[in-house]
Amino acid sequence: MTAVARTPEGRVASPCINVCKMHEATALCRGCARTIPEIAGWSKADDDERLRILSLLPERRALLRSHGVNDMETSA
């Protein structure tokens, strides 16, 4: 498994890149590729759940690109 970014406290860090706009057709954030419930629950999620969400992001970023979302909006 590749290394994941960690917070100073050692928790799995958020993939947020401060491009907080939802893509209506996919219901994914254009910046981090998470859903609203995932974004809202991130602070309460344990590291296993955070890693599960992170594992979904590459496929979601590809989906966003297929819908014309700029790569700059989806790269961390």
- Predicted confidence at residue 9, as pLDDT, reads 95
- Predicted confidence at residue 18, as pLDDT, reads 95
Helix, strand, or coil (residue 6):
strand
Length of the chain: 76
Closest by CA to 13, choosing from 62, 51, 40, 41, is 51
- Predicted confidence at residue 70, as pLDDT, reads 81
- Predicted confidence at residue 4, as pLDDT, reads 93
- Predicted confidence at residue 1, as pLDDT, reads 52
Q: Which residues of the chain have pLDDT under 50?
A: 76
